[in-house]
A and B are shown apart, each in its own frame.
Chain A
Amino acid sequence: MSLAAEAFVSQIAAAEPWPENATLYQPLREDQILLSDCASSLAVQAYLRMLGLPVRVRCRANAEYMSPSGKVPFIHVGNQVVSELGPIMQFTRAKGHSLSDSLDDVQRAEMKAYMELVNNMLLTAELYIQWCYQNTAAEITRPRYSSPYSWPLNHILAYQKQWEVRRKMNAIGWAGKSLEQVYEDVSQCCQALSQRLGTQPFFFNKQPTELDALVFGHLFTILTTRLTTDELSEKIKSFSNLLSFCRRIEQAYFESQDRDSQSGALDYSKGPSLM
């Protein structure tokens, strides 16, 4: 489709209200999904819940390949398919839903900057620990990533993905970092977030914003996922205001709605637990 036609279609889509059957796709929860994907998916779910937009969660083994950009999660709304938190935010804003309308310009700049901080440091650290740290990669990541496939395809796909991630780490300069340095970076990032949060309930005072959803997604997943060591979640636990922040959001947006809904299959309070 030409750019003009795409713009026209997205304008039409923007005018439509949010449908009831909006669906979010992610990899299989029990056996397949990895830490980084689970964090991204939880962030999107938190964001949509904060906006009060209903969405069903479906797990597919090939979610990563179904996504138009190759990254999970992605949402199927009407006949549009949008992947990753950034574009999803733009998409919902075009439909008139936004969490950050009440912020002034400086605050919005800070919010965007902190979101990039989480992407740049936390997400990259998660990817590093998953794929570049030998123990985790061999014991947890590769078996999980390749679990839906049969031999020998499972090995081929797992090694292909690992190679791709390692090349990315090389390109952004993380390849030379040791595990301790990565934990250091995570600490620094959490310290910055903790600083910014201070004693407020949310990052920008009384109302949650996109930043809250993103931070919650990552921190909560790290806290509830067991890897080969507990060091990563220990780093976060050392900041008590971040812990209470996660608890607060979980109680406000996830547990209350779970109590209402009948289906017990969607269990948000537990991330993938391993070992």
Chain B
Amino acid sequence: MAAPMELYCWKGDYGLPSVDVDCLTVLAYAKFAGAPLKVHKITNPWRSPTGTLPALKTREEGSLSQPSKIIIQLRKQKYNADYDLSAKEGADTLAFVSLLEEKLLPAVIYTQWVDAKNYVDVTRRWYAEHTPFPLNFLLPNRMHSRQIERLRLIRGDAILEPEEQLEKELYQDALECMTLLSQRLGSHKFFFGDSPSSLDAYVFGHLAPLLKIKLPNAKLQQHLNSLENLQQFCSNILLLYFPSDSREAPSRNTAVHTDAGDFDNEPHKRRNQILSVLFAVAAMLGYAVLSGIVTIHSSRSQLEEPRHDDGDEDDEEQE
């Protein structure tokens, strides 16, 4: 037996073992294949051996970072969840994984990172709260620009702006993709028979965040909720393979309500408004004092003169 390999992943939340799509895929595959991995759940990508997450650290081959490479590596170590698949099913796996990456992944990136409300309210807030200081100022923005760039390059557009037309196109493709997956799954427990394979890992990785992370702008989630078998599929995997994480679900979910979100923001909003007005007034007064428009005399007997001085100096200013 080879020495246990180490897997670095994003931390989990919302009842999921990890919040990141790629990390979920790798974790699910590792569970399906029964690979004994030492899993490090971290929130600082700089601590991972490759600088990105997920990352697999092996003794012989160094560190790998892409899900496809990690799965290939695990397969080489004889942890193969696709062992029982026929050649045709293997071909189907390749095809459906391509379908996921071309049609569903752009929409998932869009809804989490490009849609303004979702990004600010949920995604950025989660990353800002969970990454250690001082990264929490830099990292969410960097990831944001990187994800936007990734989406732009995948689509081959010159510029990418969150707008209605783009959203419509992406979501339409994604809805169609989910419907197709649902049709392919039918009433089976997993895509190929009774034991899960790598395709199940990929599908789980892409759908579970949509299911569990509640977003304000939830068009994708609504469609997913209408596809019963996919919902069942995800919850099933969570229950069977990640029981400890799903138990944490209820406590976190109640904290994230869209109404609660607004209500939480309100006292902050009011406070911010008052603070900014006070700051502006203080700045103006400071400038007035420093530039001599307003002079403050210390003695009380000369209370009349400051006002007189103000008048004169104001006149001079106007000239």
Contacts and interface: CB of A to CB of B under 8 A. Distances in A.
Query: Are chains A and B touching in the complex at the 8 Å CB cutoff?
Result: yes
Contacts of A192: 90-92, 94-95
A255 interface: no
A142 B261 CA distance: 54
A195 interface: yes
Contact of A113 (B96, B150, B168): B96
Interface stretch (A39-47, A91-99, A167-175, A232-240): A167-175
A20 interface: no
A117 B164 contact: no
A85 B66 CA distance: 29
A170 B98 CA distance: 17
B67 to A, nearest CB: 9
A113 B164 contact: no
Nearest to A172: B154
B158 interface: yes
Given A70-B158, A109-B180, A173-B66, A117 B165 contact: no
Given A3-B165, A171-B150, A173-B66, A108 B180 contact: yes
Contacts of A109: 180-181, 183-184
A70 B156 contact: yes
Interface string A86-122: 0000000000000000000110111011101101110
B88 A120 contact: no
B72 to A, nearest CB: 10
Given A3-B164, A172-B154, A188 B94 contact: yes
A175 B268 CA distance: 45
Interface string B155-185: 0111000001100100000001100110110
A205 to B, nearest CB: 15
B87 interface: yes
A106 B156 contact: no
B262 interface: no
A71 B91 contact: no
B94 A117 contact: yes
B312 to A, nearest CB: 59
B260 to A, nearest CB: 33
B156 A114 contact: no
A14 B147 CA distance: 36
A110 B184 contact: yes
A120 B105 CA distance: 13
B149 interface: yes
Interface in B88-112: 88, 90-92, 94-96, 98-99, 101-103
Nearest to B164: A3
Interface in A195-210: 195-196
Interface string A138-170: 000000000000000000000000000001101
Interface in A46-101: 69-71
A86 to B, nearest CB: 9
A191 interface: yes
Nearest to B93: A192
Contacts of B280: none
A117 B103 CA distance: 11
A3 B164 CA distance: 9
Contacts of B96: 113
Contacts of A191: 91
A69 B157 CA distance: 7
A243 interface: no
A120 B101 contact: yes
A141 B184 CA distance: 40
A189 B98 CA distance: 11
A112 B153 contact: no
B87 A195 contact: yes
Interface of A: 3, 69-71, 105-106, 108-110, 112-114, 116-117, 119-121, 167-168, 170-173, 188-189, 191-193, 195-196
Given A110-B184, A196-B88, 13 more contacts: A3-B168, A70-B158, A105-B183, A112-B176, A113-B92, A113-B95, A116-B101, A120-B102, A172-B153, A192-B94, A195-B87, A195-B90, A196-B92
Interface of B: 66, 68, 87-88, 90-92, 94-96, 98-99, 101-103, 149-150, 153-154, 156-158, 164-165, 168, 176-177, 180-181, 183-184, 186
